[in-house]
Amino acid sequence: MNVDFSPAEQAFRQEVLTFLDTKLPANIRHKVLNGKRLVRDDFMRWQRILFDYGWGAPYSPKDAGGTGWNHTEIAIFDNECVDAGAPGLIAFGQKMLAPVLMAFGTPEQKAHYLPRIFKGEDFWCQGYSEPGSGSDLASLKTKAEKVGDKYIVNGQKIWTTQAQFADWIFCLVRTSNEGRPQQGISFLLIDMKSPGVSVRPIIMLDGEHEVNEVFFDNVDVPVANLVGEENKGWTCAKYLLSHERTGLNLVAVCKRWMRRLHHIARTEMANGKPLIEDTHFRDRLAQCEMELMAHEITLLRTLAAIAKSGSPGPEASIIKIRASELTQSIIELSMYAAGPEALAHIPEALDPAWHGDVGGYDYTPIVAGEYLNMRKLTIFGGSNEIQRNIIAQHVLGL
């Protein structure tokens, strides 16, 4: 496999760099590069800038209104955006719902929802997990009863990321109790402004509001908002999860954090020596570097396979496992580099108005928060234990 960029890919990379240099708002760049808290308008504003340039749907084919980029161009775009300090695209619409609509949606659903996702008009969230249904998602109990031309939805979702920002939520709901649990699940699109929908924040270990509980109390949902066939939503769910797990590769973010570690390692410490002279730290840094290179090559191989098959297979679980564990290793090494100062998590440092500096060794006000936040990686998107079961069954044939 040739991992060097072709002249055309080098030219594309330069176009991306020029675009980011001229179009990425300075205040958003500052927030991202300095670990500041992002708000809904930051994400939506960036999405509209991308759309106006013709890059509103970088992960979608041209016939669906996307850029039609190949896997290498997508990797270049993602890497350069992270390096420049661009906020991540709203993955729930771009990387999860859009592929499902393209595969299972009606012509009317595609015509209505896809342009709104790409233009930055709708912010989506995902309604999968429930208090008693996490890794065992098929046991979900949120119920949708069909009455005439609508469903009446009752139930609860949990760990719903960015539901406080969302206009819409795509949900797995139970429409039948007959047969195997997977056979009675349907995939619904629900307007978050509907009467009976309420959102309750869940404050995480780092003190941030990122996830939520979402409650449905006799919520009316038009039958036209059903994606795919009734009771066949499990097919949509599996398709979406494979795209989600590939999207959770975190290569670009890991590269940026590794550059921060390299900078710290070569900065003179209080004792007059750089941290890179600590053999234990240097060995751990080299190990992370090698694992990151191997992970990136594995991702490129997977994306190349997707380009041929059209959708991710069970190998997406490998990407999710390695990405989550590698990211946690890098953050743990960042804690080690910060030393005793890493113990002091300063939530105020995430506020754009906070005047402290988080460059060099002064990144310590946020590294503890990063550590606490990243503990979730091996659980969300399907726990790593579940991913290993998938690999054993569908890759190794055990």
Identify the sign of the CA torsion 77, 383, 258, 334: positive
Average pLDDT estimate for 332-340: 86
- What is the band of 204 on the pLDDT scale with cuts at 50, 70, 90? confident
Tokens of 389: 């079961």
% the chain with pLDDT above 90: 54
Of 189 and 348, more confident:
189
Matching fold, domains 124-231 and 248-395: no
**Among 66-75, 167-176, 229-238, whose mean pLDDT is lowest?**
66-75
**In the predicted model, is pLDDT for residue 287 greater than 70?**
yes
User: What pLDDT does residue 110 have?
Assistant: 97
pTM: 0.85
pLDDT per residue as tens digits for the range 224-246: 999 999 999 999 988 887 665 55
User: What pLDDT does residue 57 have?
Assistant: 96
Question: Regarding the domain delimited by 248-395, which CATH topology (the fold level of the hierarchy) does it fall under?
Answer: Butyryl-CoA Dehydrogenase, subunit A; domain 3 (1.20.140)
What torsion do the CA atoms of 40, 41, 47, 51 make, to the nearest 10 degrees? 140
- Contacting residues for 32 by C-beta, under 8 A, at least 6 apart: 38, 85, 86, 87
**In the predicted model, is pLDDT for residue 264 greater than 90?**
no
**In the predicted model, is pLDDT for residue 118 greater than 90?**
yes
Structural domain boundaries of the chain?
7-89, 124-231, 248-395
Architecture of domain 124-231: Beta Barrel (2.40)
Residues 54, 68 contacting (CB under 8 angstroms): no
Average pLDDT estimate for 307-319: 72
**In the predicted model, is pLDDT for residue 380 greater than 80?**
no
- What is the band of 341 on the pLDDT scale with cuts at 50, 70, 90? confident
User: What pLDDT does residue 69 have?
Assistant: 92
**In the predicted model, is pLDDT for residue 355 greater than 70?**
no
User: What pLDDT does residue 292 have?
Assistant: 93
- What is the band of 248 on the pLDDT scale with cuts at 50, 70, 90? low
Distance (Å, whole) CA 49 – CA 56:
8
Distance (Å, whole) CA 40 – CA 231:
34
Of 81 and 249, more confident:
81
User: What pLDDT does residue 393 have?
Assistant: 85
Chain centroid to CA 208: 17
% the chain with pLDDT above 70: 91
* Alpha helices, DSSP H, located in 59-186: 71-84, 91, 98-104, 107-119
What torsion do the CA atoms of 284, 289, 291, 296 make, to the nearest 10 degrees? 160
- What is the band of 196 on the pLDDT scale with cuts at 50, 70, 90? very high
* CA-based nearest residue to 264, from 251, 245, 277: 277
- What is the band of 275 on the pLDDT scale with cuts at 50, 70, 90? confident
277 is catalytic: no
**In the predicted model, is pLDDT for residue 288 greater than 90?**
yes
Question: Which of the listed ranges 81-85, 316-320, 367-371, 379-383 does the model predict with the highest average pLDDT?
Answer: 81-85
- Secondary structure of residue 300 in the 3-state scheme: helix
The one catalytic residue among 9, 108, 130, 244: 244
User: What pLDDT does residue 315 have?
Assistant: 73
- What is the band of 1 on the pLDDT scale with cuts at 50, 70, 90? very low
